[in-house]
Chains A and B, each alone.
Chain A
Amino acid sequence: MHEIRTLIVDDSSVMRKIVERSLRQAGLDPLVVYEAGNGAEGLDMLKSKDVDLILSDINMPSMDGLEFLRQIRAQKLAPGIPVVMITTESSEEHVKQAILAGARGYIRKPFTAEQVKERVLPLVNAA
């Protein structure tokens, strides 16, 4: 099985580790993880790395997750690669904004590994 190259974008290093652990618990293995602390770092990472999956927070300094999504599309980076938002913002309006900006999935913090499995695995398997 080929490696699942995943970019995790979150300003919290603890949350990046928790997301990584949840992905492994969800059965995404072998997993290669790239980390970025905000949207701008995430864009830089996508210019130098090929990835199979992107998970991003929304509330971040420098460049938030929604702008990160818009810039991915505008700069034609990671075409066809699924992006899943993982965030404390859970209103329908936030979900709508994320989907309009190009997100394929949405996970609300706090989350369980089971929820990560349900939302992420089908996207990875379909890619």
Chain B
Amino acid sequence: MAVSLRESVQLVSDPRNLDGSVEEVFQTMLGVDCRRDPGPIPQERESVTAVVGFGGLLSGACVFKSGSSTAIKIAAQMTGMEFSEVDDTVKDGIGELCNMLAGTWKGKVPDLAANCGLSVPAVITGRDYHLHVQAPEFKLDHTYRFDGASFGVTIICDGLQ
């Protein structure tokens, strides 16, 4: 029988799955408590965005976005190294973090874990850019906070089989 997620939209889009995934990845890989924050991400001149695409039963993307200082803080915590700017290692670390967030999130729904693939991460840095998605099936857009730093994670689903 063909697997379908059409009947499970509420389960797939449950915001607790995203919160749990972010908490798990940050606790395991960075050793920090990370919690959902009602406020917006503080604006910085430079920002870092990582995108991991979903393909298969669900098409869309997991997007991580933060200011450069938060990206540097995360990469330092992950690697035990010090960084003064968003270099290739910081971008690599943020891409890998986004990959783990996407993998952990899809792993919360067994049919999604088995029938949805992940792309390799893409990382974008710069100023004054916006991510626009036309009429997604659903979208989760949360801000999180750890050790005084904030970042956003967005799950965009633009197709569900």
Contact = CB atoms under 8 A, between A and B. Distances in A.
A11 B96 CA distance: 9
Interface string A88-121: 1111111000000000000011111000000000
Chain A residues touching B, range: 20 to 34
Interface of B is mostly: helix
Contacts, number: 61
Contacts of A110: 24-25, 28-29, 100, 104
Contact of A18 (B24, B29, B110, B113): B29
A40 interface: no
Contacts of B80: 21
Contact of A17 (B79, B103, B110, B113): B79
Nearest to A21: B80
B78 A91 contact: no
Nearest to B114: A91
B43 to A, nearest CB: 26
A88 B120 CA distance: 11
Most buried by B among A14, A15, A18: A14
Interface stretch (B11-19, B87-95, B128-136): B87-95
Most buried by A among B25, B96, B110: B96
Given A21-B80, A90-B107, A14 B99 contact: no
Interface of B: 24-25, 28-29, 75, 78-80, 89, 92-93, 95-96, 99-100, 102-104, 107, 110, 113-114, 117-118, 120
